[in-house]
Amino acid sequence: MALMDVLIDELRDMYSAENQLVKALPKLAKGAKDATLKQLFSAHLGETKGQVERLKQVFAILEKKPTGQHCGGMEGVIEEGKDALEKDEEGPSFDAGLVGAALRTEHYEIAGYQACISMAKTLGLRDVAGLLTANLSEELAAAKKVTAAGAPILKASARQPEEPKKPKTGKEKYSAQKSREDEKKAAPDLKKGSGKKTGSAISALMNRMVG
**What's the pLDDT score for residue 161?**
78
Name the stretches of the chain with pLDDT < 70: 1, 163-175, 178-179, 193-211
Query: Cα separation of 5 and 154, whole Å?
Result: 43
Query: Which CATH number applies to 3-162: 3.40.50.300, 1.10.132.50, 1.20.1300.10, 1.20.1260.10?
Result: 1.20.1260.10
In the chain, what are the domain boundaries? 3-162, 170-211
**What's the pLDDT score for residue 35?**
95
- In degrees and rounded to multiples of 5, residue 74 shows phi and psi of -65, -35
Q: What is the CA radius of gyration of the chain?
A: 21
Residue type, 69: Q
Query: Cα separation of 115 and 167, whole Å?
Result: 42
**What's the pLDDT score for residue 193?**
63
CB-facing half-sphere around the CA of 8: CA atoms within 13 A: 15
**What's the pLDDT score for residue 163?**
64
**What's the pLDDT score for residue 168?**
64
**What's the pLDDT score for residue 104?**
95
